């Protein structure tokens, strides 16, 4: 009977220790969620950004409002690696918006406009790949396609230089036998 009581005592002690560890772990996760939620309520008032994809996404929004596009793009790129699919599609969408907005600020003769629009189109397509029901991404993709069309028939930039017959070079193929 003493052996049975001794085993019961150790089992009870193990249950108490496991419960304490579980309580501490749950308390820490709850505290962390409260920190993230308080940041999400007022991101402009917080001093420190919690290490959570949702908080970093909100911080990117703050950076956009402060007109710091490069920092916002960096935050959104960081979100892409660790967030769930819903937040990833929104991050792609917001990256596309930032790039398109920056491109539309430039004049059409500026050489930086086309790469920014192409980045925006790529981000909108990535967002639509993750969530095909994002109508805002579809609309903004159409806007980007109107700024820089991809149809060679409608865009003079797609015309290739024609080589005159006097300058054309003819090449002949040859075969090399390898040992």
pLDDT digits (tens, 9 = 90+) for 116-130: 999 999 999 999 999
pLDDT band at 176 (very low <50, low <70, confident <90, very high): low
| Token pair of 143 as six digits | 């806007």
Task: State how far the Cα of 148 lies from the Cα of 157, in Å rounded to an integer.
Answer: 10
**What's the rounded mean pLDDT across residues 102-119?**
87
CA distance 81 to 130: 14
d(CA 134, CA 141): 11
Regarding pTM above 0.85, the answer is no
Q: Is 22 exposed, middle or buried (0-12, 13-18, 19+ CB in 10 A)?
A: exposed
**What is residue 154's predicted lDDT score, i.e. its pLDDT?**
58
Residue 36: pLDDT band (50, 70, 90) is confident
Supply the pLDDT for residue 175. Answer: 58
pLDDT band at 110 (very low <50, low <70, confident <90, very high): confident
pLDDT band at 168 (very low <50, low <70, confident <90, very high): very low
Q: Name the pLDDT band for 45 (thresholds 50, 70, 90).
A: confident
Is the pLDDT at 32 greater than 70? The verdict is yes
Q: Which residues contact 107 (CB under 8 A, 6 or more apart)?
A: 113
Nearest to 102 by CA among 150, 43, 149, 144: 144
């Amino acid at each position: 009977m003493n052996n049975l009581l001794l085993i019961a005592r150790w089992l009870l002690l193990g249950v108490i220790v496991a419960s304490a560890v579980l309580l501490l772990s749950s308390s820490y996760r709850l505290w962390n969620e409260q920190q993230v939620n308080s940041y999400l309520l007022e991101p402009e008032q917080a001093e420190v950004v919690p290490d959570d994809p949702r908080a970093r996404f909100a911080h990117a929004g703050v950076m956009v409002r402060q007109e710091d596009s490069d920092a916002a793009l960096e935050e959104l790129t960081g979100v892409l690696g660790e967030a769930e699919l819903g937040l990833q599609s929104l991050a792609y969408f917001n990256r596309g918006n930032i790039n398109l907005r920056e491109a539309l600020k430039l004049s059409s003769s500026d050489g930086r406009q086309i790469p920014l629009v192409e980045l925006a189109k790529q981000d909108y397509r990535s967002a639509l790949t993750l969530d095909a029901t994002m109508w805002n991404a579809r609309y903004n993709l159409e806007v980007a396609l109107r700024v820089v069309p991809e149809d060679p028939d409608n865009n003079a930039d797609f015309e290739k230089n024609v080589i005159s017959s006097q300058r054309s070079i003819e090449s002949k193929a040859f075969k090399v036998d390898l040992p």
